[in-house]
Amino acid sequence: MRRLLTIIGIVATSILLTSGQVLAADATYKDEIKRDECLLVSKNCTDNVDSIQQRIEKLNKEIIKGTDVYTKDELENLKGKLRDTERELEFMEYGG
């Protein structure tokens, strides 16, 4: 019985140690390939004030990430927002 408890303890410890490493690796991966939720669906936008040029630059950077980060529908959404923002800039520069 004592031997069985020792084996169970060792197995449980190894599982806990392994799962900690897996979770840490997953968190690092998510930080590397991150979506800009503010640009995509206007979430997490607190204290996020950009000029039109900065918004265009951010949209272009997100679009370049492609299908590694975004679905095709999300990419089309970002491209639509880019077109709209470019039109806003053009309207401000040249008028209606």
Co-location of 92 and 52 in the same domain? yes
Co-location of 5 and 20 in the same domain? yes
Q: Looking at residue 64, what is its pLDDT?
A: 94
pTM over 0.95: no
Give the structural domain span for 27: 1-32
Co-location of 70 and 41 in the same domain? yes
Q: Name the domain count of the chain.
A: 2
Co-location of 48 and 81 in the same domain? yes
Co-location of 93 and 51 in the same domain? yes
How many percent of the chain have pLDDT more than 90?
A: 41
Q: In sequence order, what are the residues at sequence separation of 6 or more whose Cβ sits closer than 8 angstroms to the Cβ of residue 59?
A: 39, 78, 81, 82, 85
Give the count of alpha carbons within 13 A of 8, CB side only: 5
For 17-43, write each residue's pLDDT tens digit. 676 565 555 555 554 567 788 877 766
Q: Looking at residue 24, what is its pLDDT?
A: 56
SS (H, E, C) 30-45: HHHCCCCHHHHHCCCC
